[in-house]
Amino acid sequence: MNLTIDNQRVALNVLRQAWQEPVTVSLGDSAKGRIAAANELIDDVVAGGERVYGVNTGFGQLAQVRIDADQLAQLQENLVRSHAVGVGEDLDDEIVRLIMLMKVIALAAGFSGVRLELVETLCELINNNIYPCIPSRGSVGASGDLAPLAHMACALIGVGEVRVNGDLVPAAIALENAGITPVRLGPKEGLALVNGTQVSTALALAAVYRTENLLAAVLMAGAMSSDAIKGSDTPFDERIQKVRGHGGQIAVAGVLRELMRGSDIRASHIECDRVQDPYSIRCQPQVVGACLDVLRHVSTVLETEANAVTDNPLVFTDSKSVLSGGNFHAEPVALAADYLALAIAEIGALSERRIALLIDSHMSGLPAFLVKDGGLNSGFMMAQVTAAALASENKSHAHPASVDSLPTSANQEDHVSMATYASRRLHTMLDNVANIIAIELLAAAQGVEFHHPKKSSPIIEDVIRGLRQISPPYEGDRSLSSDIRRVAASVDDGAYCDYAASVLPSLST
């Protein structure tokens, strides 16, 4: 993808593509003009001797310390080096690419006062697939994602390590090999790089995209389970959804109706004696629909944040003002991530309940634990236990991170958002849910096949044929661990998105 950053808002679907694959980034003429104008104002401030935070002062609690003009470049480099104290495993290259792109978007808005040279160098790193090694832990999401963004900034000055095509390389050597000159930071430039919410936002955005993949898969799994237990599609009737009015519920019911359309299994029991199905079947539109509404809300918040200017102070060329504020505080991201965590947990919880339903012969009407010769074979008994363990683990992960705050920087930063952790923990939850849905897909496929020669819908039968390419039917006891892993990978890769693309925020744009 070739992306020019100029006057346009960068949309959710474009950011998704940048997360999925390498991108070539350039600046438009308007962006270049804005950057140059803001930088000229910073030069005027320095020349005039006006005291401005982060330009010619120390940082945080040291903001009262005035820095001499001949030390301003050293001030910015010291800031970057001293703040690069992250720990833990490095963030994936896909996340780092998204971080770098969003930093370009923020700087290109022309409110940061940096030189054009700096922004273009950051673009060159992206274009050459040079991704700074950014440790995943060490940010409280308050004065920006300081530590992780400092590691990103280190690469621009030729310090630290980067990954190039998956290989670990010293930053100075990677820049030299690409013909990129390390940046000598000017006034405010180090601060503009380390201030901002791009790390927490990138982690949360990636979680949104993964949640879309999983939500599509859980709709498929839910439709399959409904047919496997000879459930009714009446609860998915459009009239029921419309009188409640929630958009997500209406959309989810529509997808479920389409997935189950033309099922011979459904047609075979229309006049059966069962009055109502369990909630995990019947209330899918209400539960998954509410999760879709959360996903849509969170997507809107994060798209705004991805296009936001979140460093400090900010440069306003129209009034020739440099104003200190708090756009670096990541509370909007933290609250959005916490909200999304609830939806992720519920998607997994509902799927686990359907697995439990499928293996219970008294409730499902299927062979106990979905296997022939039960007793000799245990079937899906322990697979459901695994799903239960993962769903229960997610309950703890769903506890809101944003309600926690520890003051930092000698109480100058006395309230923090914890947005980076709030966003990062989503990926652990998503790993768990991908495995839960994989177990349901395998269990539901097994259940549907017990009804053959009666067929499910054409869509569901086609999906089962695909599943059988990576997981053969369960004829007798064997380990399902590898099967679950393969199916979970396909779920996480978006194998089912085409069936629900019309309702997913970044795919329906």
| Cα–Cα dist 251/214, whole Å | 16
Phi, psi of 186 (to 5 degrees): -100, 180
Concatenated DSSP letters of 60-85: GGGTT-B--GGGHHHHHHHHHHHH--
Concatenated DSSP letters of 415-447: ----HHHHHHHHHHHHHHHHHHHHHHHHHHHHH
User: How many residues are there in the chain?
Assistant: 509
Q: Which of 53, 421, 474, 499 is catalytic?
A: 53
Place of tokens 């006062």: 113
CB atoms within 10 A of CB 17: 15
Q: Nearest-CA neighbor of 293 among 250, 357, 355?
A: 250
If 0-12 CB within 10 Å is exposed, 13-18 middle and 19+ buried, where does residue 29 land? Answer: exposed
CB 43, CB 35: distance < 8 Å: no
| Strand boundaries in 115-196, DSSP class E | 130-132, 135-137, 161-164, 167-170
Cis peptide bond prior to 453, omega within 30° of 0: yes
What does each C-alpha distance from 260 to 255, 390, 415, 437 come to in angstroms?
Answer: 9, 28, 50, 18
496 catalytic per annotation: no
Q: Catalytic amino acids?
A: 53
